[in-house]
Structure 1
């Protein structure tokens, strides 16, 4: 008989609520500030122009917030997790795109109405002003980046190509700032307005440089990561063991991931997010990857002693976000890597159930390690092997409930292929598992 776990609530995650409240307050204060500055600047030549100016101010704010999202600030990442930040990054990108289309269109209409000329004539007149031309170029680049980021286009691009396209965002920001400085009436209206915008841009760009450049460079200079061993786990899966100096000072937790580069064995812009497949122990790190991309395929050829450049750690897929004393860990395919690390985490207390979904038993990477860890902590491990094409559906609500009758009283961690993760999350909603108890890792990145 399976014992049913009582829904005991944990309290150690309260600081996260304070951080989240502060972040929400920051965003709302900036939205309010933009509205105040727009009002203080006074009306434009006509109502259409005034609306166009408001759209432009919100476009600038959205671009600054987008920079903060892609800066991958540790405080924000720990509070929300990279998956949620990536979702916000996507929706903010859509907002930026629509504002980048609406702002010039409305401004152009306002000029045409004020001067009593046709839209082509107004466009020709505005095109002769270099700051306006910079804004138009920035808007065009925004549309290109967003168009290549929609799912239909994204599926046709490799991760490396998608990453390279997103580098255009930095050029967009430069052109947008120049356009605002030289053309923005609300920017020049008052010293307070200029101070606000310069302060916001300095904060956003500074956060980006710190999060994406300065901190990673300092950490890599401190730890000097090197390949210690390369171990083939199966025909298409390999583990890379990494050592370095003072790894006990690296703020990594089980369930998190890094962006990995291997200088000399790949191009600098070729970078992949690989989760730690073992809990950090202060002496070494381990990643386990399946050969599906240009970077992961070459991992088995890495020589011992090769330099490693890591950016991170990232992700809130850790025990810090637990709400309940008992846990379910659900893995699919190579998504087992952070799940295996979580199972080893000494901070994961309480009863644990592990569900490992694979097509066949021979595809179950790290299964021996999972069994050993499950035995050591008296966890239940279920290997769910079978092909979806044959009708095997282990994650329907009924089957989930049969495997874990007390699932609503547990935290649920899910990592695997997107289709599997989507199916599990849908079943958890139908079972009315509270969303705050559900934690998913889809290996998506903001920027």
Structure 2
């Protein structure tokens, strides 16, 4: 291994292609001005929001019991119908939770982060869908068992004579389309833009199911309390979506007046875009966070894409550095100066406010180094408080390398470049040149006091999983590891 410091070079092993380029602040250099005070995220927000979801499910179950749910299970028809009601109630509650999770409510987003909310949204969505199917089957069988019309006669009767059933069927079909395209294999075959458009039909499905539930659902109409609670829950979800997905982005976009002032090619497939606006400090953005961006540059501009800040935000500028991975990101290279931007955000937990310790390690692979560069610029730090590990396949992939090196020297941080192709057949964050090391040993070699640091990780999902496992194996508590998965 070759260790390169500002004025020294020493050989430490027989594997020279595996490099650690460590930058330190030059002797006598002035310490830069301290960044703005950190906006900490209260840890109790996570517990409170999780407890609120379970409280909702318990309350819904209590309404079912109060409405006679346990008294109707003495016969086959009663058993099927009663538990069909319960599965429908819980499915409806989870559908509301699912919508609320992605409503961009700031308290939930700051507590969990968009990627964790998205994973929970997906789990809740599949659970809600399965319970909805169980509700349809159980209710139909229960009514058929008590009716002389039989199964098919009951289905026809439901469809033609029950208020809101045709709308509910249409809503169910919309939800089926969303669920099918959310399965991993189907999702992998869709472009992000196509998947996102289809996914919006989930709102339509939830809306079409509402009349059926509120017009004919026994547990929705069993008491004034139940009616008020369900109407309030639906109203709260609708208000959250309209406020945080529509009104707030519209106001922030109008107020900030963001427009492109610079476009720079970092590599043939990586572009940096600098934007200027007014009063950007009111956005509350922190280094390492991301926005959903829409650039008004022609057809297709209404589709949003998430891009991280690659520099600490200022009162009048934001900057992103993006790899060309699809149509939306590739067109950034052709943006004209003056192009206006529509924003949603800021989002994400890769920011200084989630730090729990004084010392920090920043691990970035490929384009995942961009939020780490912003964090390096913004984190309050003393000498050796921050170490940056930059994983690349080749030197041609060293995006923002010069900026990272200069910032590390200025701020007294260490900057480590880990270069080389990945090890075939091994799930690891290391290159092939380091195959003689375990993931944990290599991490400890780079950052000997890693167990005493917060660790921020961003890159491809498999690489992040390996880096997170190495950090855990090196003794870093799970609460001190911060990751952001940019997958859909």
Give 1:362's match in structure 2, choosing from 396, 401, 406: 396
Question: Which consecutive unaligned segments of at least 5 residues does structure 1 have?
Answer: 2-11
Greater gyration radius: 2
d(CA) in 1 for partners of 2:268, 2:39: 41
d(CA) in 1 for partners of 2:474, 2:237: 41
d(CA) in 2 for partners of 1:166, 1:335: 26
Q: 1:208 to 1:393 in 2, by over 3 A?
A: farther
RMSD between aligned alpha carbons? 2.0
SS of equivalent to 1:77: helix
Question: Which consecutive unaligned segments of at least 5 residues does structure 2 have?
Answer: 4-37, 425-430
Greater Cα offset, 31-40 or 205-214: 31-40
Task: Verify the 8 A CA contact 2:373 2:404 in the aligned structure 1.
Answer: yes
Structure 2 counterpart of 1:400: 443
Q: 1:98 to 1:393 in 2, by over 3 A?
A: farther
Equivalent pairs, count = 436
Task: Verify the 8 A CA contact 1:265 1:302 in the aligned structure 2.
Answer: no
Structure 2 counterpart of 1:236: 269
Q: Does the alignment pair 1:60 with 2:65?
A: no
- What per-residue deviation string (whole Å, max 9, x for no partner) do you get for residues 116-142 of structure 1? 554333222212235223223322322
Task: Verify the 8 A CA contact 2:173 2:205 in the aligned structure 1.
Answer: no
Task: Verify the 8 A CA contact 1:356 1:382 in the aligned structure 2.
Answer: yes
Segments of 4+ moved more than 6 angstroms: none
Structure 2 counterpart of 1:434: 477
- What per-residue deviation string (whole Å, max 9, x for no partner) do you get for residues 151-191 of structure 1? 11111111101110111011111112111111211111111
Q: CA deviation at 1:15?
A: 5.7
Q: CA deviation at 1:13?
A: 8.4
Q: CA deviation at 1:393?
A: 7.0
Q: CA deviation at 1:17?
A: 2.2
Q: CA deviation at 1:245?
A: 1.5
d(CA) in 2 for partners of 1:92, 1:130: 28
d(CA) in 2 for partners of 1:389, 1:15: 38
Q: 1:268 to 1:236 in 2, by over 3 A?
A: closer
Structure 1 counterpart of 2:49: 23
Task: Verify the 8 A CA contact 1:336 1:356 in the aligned structure 2.
Answer: yes
d(CA) in 1 for partners of 2:115, 2:414: 27
Q: What is the TM-score normalised by the length of structure 2?
A: 0.85
Q: What is the TM-score normalised by the length of structure 1?
A: 0.93
Greater Cα offset, 284-293 or 346-355: 346-355
Bigger relative contact order, structure 1 or 2 (CA pairs below 8 A, ≥6 apart): 1
d(CA) in 2 for partners of 1:244, 1:265: 21
Task: Verify the 8 A CA contact 1:255 1:342 in the aligned structure 2.
Answer: yes
Give 2:466's match in structure 1, choosing from 423, 428, 440: 423
Structure 2 counterpart of 1:5: none
d(CA) in 1 for partners of 2:234, 2:421: 51
Q: CA deviation at 1:388?
A: 1.2
